[in-house]
Amino acid sequence: MTKDQKILALTRWLETYQKLIEQVNAFSEITGSPTDSPLQNVIFKTFDAYTDAVSDLVGDQGGWLPWFIYDNAAGQKAMLVVIDKKRRHIRTIKDLIWVLTYHAN
């Protein structure tokens, strides 16, 4: 898979997550449903399965995609990653591809 193909796949994945969060939050506001309701748990399990598929597609062997979304708040936390003494704050899809590239080597 080329870098451009990875950017496209990861961009679609991130946009899906952002739309999912918008809709889940709107649903919770309208219905008063907690974010950990059975319905929302199924929705997030489905997204996690999608994440697993995209991970396989882009060659994520270290669990970086779930880390990016959940731990790094989709780049908003700009967490620092150090691989082989190379340091980078991970904010964007291109930063995430850097991690995938260096972690795979």
Q: Which residues contact 58 (CB under 8 A, 6 or more apart)?
A: 1, 6, 9, 10, 65, 97, 100
Can you give the pLDDT at residue 74? 96
pLDDT tens, residue by residue, 56-84 = 999 999 999 999 999 999 999 999 999 98
With a pLDDT cut of 90, the percent of the chain lying above it is: 83
Look up residue 71 and give its two tokens: 């731990």
- pLDDT at residue 105, as a whole number: 55
> Running along the chain, 105 residues long, what does each successive block of 10 average in pLDDT?
96 97 92 87 96 97 96 97 94 96 73
